[in-house]
Amino acid sequence: MNTLQFIRETGIEQFYHQWIQPRLRDKKAIGIAVAIALLYSLHRKITKPPANLRHLPWLGFYKYHKAILSNVTVDQFSRDITLPVMEKSSGAFLQPMVGYWIIQLTDPIAIKQLLQKIDIFPKSKINQGDDGSLMYRFIGGDNILMLNGDDWKRHRKIANPAFTRAMPVKLFGELTTTMFKAMDGLGKKIDVLDLFSRVTIDTIGKAGFGFDFNALTNRNSEWVENYDNVKEGMLDPFFLVFPTCDTTLLKWFPKRQKVHDQLTHFLEMLAGIIEDRRKTMKEARENGTEQLVEAHERDLLTLMIECEENENATLSNEELRRNLCIFFLAGHDTTAFTLSFMIYELAVNPEMQERARKEAIAILGDDPYDKLPDIEDTKQMSYINAVMKETMRLHNPVLSTTAREATKDCVLNGIFIPKGSLVSADILDVHRNPKVWTSPYEFNPDRFLPGGEAEQKTSAGTAWIPFSSGGRICVGMNFSLVEQRVILSMLLRKYKWKLPSDSIHANGLKTHGVAFGIISSTNLDIDFEKRY
């Protein structure tokens, strides 16, 4: 294919006008040559997988990237792009990325073997993005998510006991009551994505590092605006597909530079909090004036600094900051999206909503005031827990685990993985795999009740992995699950809700974010009616 054919067949001119021109500083100076150079280079080098991986079926390079740049919904991507290839496979297929191909596993047994063999399959540096990019600056570097070997064990040694001790159930409940007050001023129809984004940013701010974002009480919070812009910037498909434009060519994209500046401001805030916390804790120990706060209600930063002494391991201020960024992303965005998708499913399935409400009332009572659950209450919420798990199966915010790199030739449940290959557990597709789950696109919480389908499907392999699994399972899993149970149970007692008839989600939840791997949505308005 020559250059002219390439331009015609790939729709390069339309791509230029839609994706490149709006982002440039000088819209006339650089021209379409940038797009031609980038895309034609990709065409010549990486439109087919390397020979040693061609024993696996693969997604078409152009079809995949066209889907990303078109911002297709996750359902469209799952049904139209990956499902046809997945059905031809024995539990794995190849997905094209910029500069490499990655093996996506959809077989539960192969996934279990992958996630258990952390020495053979360490995390790849490819997960962090290019050095200097917005994504690298926020989630890259030396942190618990990206590190391997002894360095990872050192981080985990401090983070594990901190998360074990930190379970601020009282804080979850108090912030939920603050959320109710905020809802009073929003009217009947409420954008739950915005609502839960605010309650979870306040939660992770206070529970993570003792900082009050005032997201619920101040709708014009500078910090919320900064973080939202950073988050949207990381999800921008253009800069994910063309990372050079986020680093070397950044000066050509002034709007992108502004987002980088906002991230710098956010990171400086975290660094200042860490430095001040170390100083005040040291002074308190020396003066004997340490605050008598129960361990489970202390913030994670305080607990991690305490654990440095108890576990004979230390983290630098920079390492602490990078870990707080990971906790922030995982504890805020993914929890907010899960809560939003859960509310949607209960809105379109009113009988399930009422069943969950009856359970909440049976545990917390039906008196007309806001009852805060305690930790023992949350352990009794079997159907609410099933609703949560089914939501994370069908609409899990994270589409796949971070990429691992095979250090030697290996076979995972009959699937040959050559040395040097990148491989990931495909959360989206194993959760929707018709060879694994009955009617996988149907929302059915009963799967996760005792004796349900989930017990059978997960007994031999790993078919439900919203928090990954094995030695590198998400350290904040229980934190997130308890927070969800508290918020949902209190909402069920306080409100009934339904989907507005004019919702863009009337024919199914529309979610996006395939490029970055964390899904989100827009305009998810819900009609709420108070019960008391």
pLDDT score for 459: 67
CA 520 – CA 396 distance, rounded (Å): 10
Where is the binding site, in residues?
474
pLDDT score for 482: 96
Order of strands, sheet of 495-498, starting from the edge strand that comes earlier in the sequence: 189-191, 525-530, 495-498
pLDDT score for 310: 72
Token pair 């390492």 in the structure block, residue: 319
pLDDT score for 19: 56
Contact 410, 417 (CB under 8 A): yes
For the record, the structure tokens of 336 come out as: 């907010």
Token pair 């529970």 in the structure block, residue: 207
**pTM confidence score:** 0.88
Question: Which residues make beta-bridge pairs with 497?
Answer: 528
Tell me the residue length of the chain.
Answer: 532
Question: What residues make up the domain containing 181?
Answer: 128-400+462-530
- Measured at the CA of 193, the angle between CA 443 and CA 238, to 5 degrees, comes to 95
Provide CB contacts within 8 A for 506, sequence distance 6+. 499
Residue type at 328 in one-letter notation = F
Tell me how crowded residue 178 is: count the other CB atoms within 10 A of its CB: 17
For the record, the structure tokens of 93 come out as: 């297929």
In the three-class reduction of DSSP (H, G, I as helix; E, B as strand; rest coil), residue 351 is classed as: helix
CA 443 – CA 439 distance, rounded (Å): 9
CA 269 – CA 262 distance, rounded (Å): 11
Q: Is residue 197 part of a domain?
A: yes
Where is the binding site for heme, in residues?
474
**Regions of the chain short of the pLDDT cut 70:** 1-46, 289-297, 311, 458-459
Contact 243, 133 (CB under 8 A): yes
Torsion sign (Cα): 445, 446, 450, 453 = negative
CA 445 – CA 386 distance, rounded (Å): 5
Selection from 174, 161, 139 nearest residue 483 by Cα? 174
For the record, the structure tokens of 266 come out as: 């956010």
pLDDT score for 397: 92
Q: Is residue 72 part of a domain?
A: no
Token pair 């430095």 in the structure block, residue: 275
pLDDT score for 241: 76
According to DSSP H, which parts of 133-250 are helical? 134-139, 149-165, 169-184, 192-209, 222-234, 237-241
Tell me how crowded residue 17 is: count the other CB atoms within 10 A of its CB: 12
In the three-class reduction of DSSP (H, G, I as helix; E, B as strand; rest coil), residue 486 is classed as: helix
Q: Is residue 339 part of a domain?
A: yes
CA 122 – CA 405 distance, rounded (Å): 6
CA distance to 103, 240, 282, per residue, from 110 (Å): 12, 28, 48
End-to-end Cα distance, the chain: 67
Contact 331, 304 (CB under 8 A): no
pLDDT score for 484: 97
CATH of the domain at 196: 1.10.630.10
Helices and strands, number each (H, E), in the chain: 23, 11
Provide CB contacts within 8 A for 248, sequence distance 6+. none
Contact 363, 489 (CB under 8 A): yes
pLDDT score for 200: 95
Task: Specify the DSSP element, H or E, that contains 417.
Answer: strand 415-417
- Measured at the CA of 118, the angle between CA 115 and CA 124, to 5 degrees, comes to 95
Question: Which residues make beta-bridge pairs with 442?
Answer: none
Contact 238, 330 (CB under 8 A): no
pLDDT score for 288: 76
Selection from 420, 461, 406 nearest residue 117 by Cα? 406
pLDDT score for 128: 87
pLDDT score for 456: 83
Q: Is residue 253 part of a domain?
A: yes
CA 352 – CA 262 distance, rounded (Å): 42
CA 437 – CA 239 distance, rounded (Å): 35
DSSP 415: E
Provide CB contacts within 8 A for 98, sequence distance 6+. 42, 46, 240, 241, 242, 243
Residue type at 275 in one-letter notation = E
Q: Is residue 258 part of a domain?
A: yes
Residue type at 77 in one-letter notation = F
Q: Is residue 377 part of a domain?
A: yes
| Domain count within the chain | 1
Q: Is residue 447 part of a domain?
A: no
pLDDT score for 306: 87
Q: Is residue 408 part of a domain?
A: no
pLDDT in tens, 91-126: 999 999 877 899 999 999 999 999 999 999 999 988
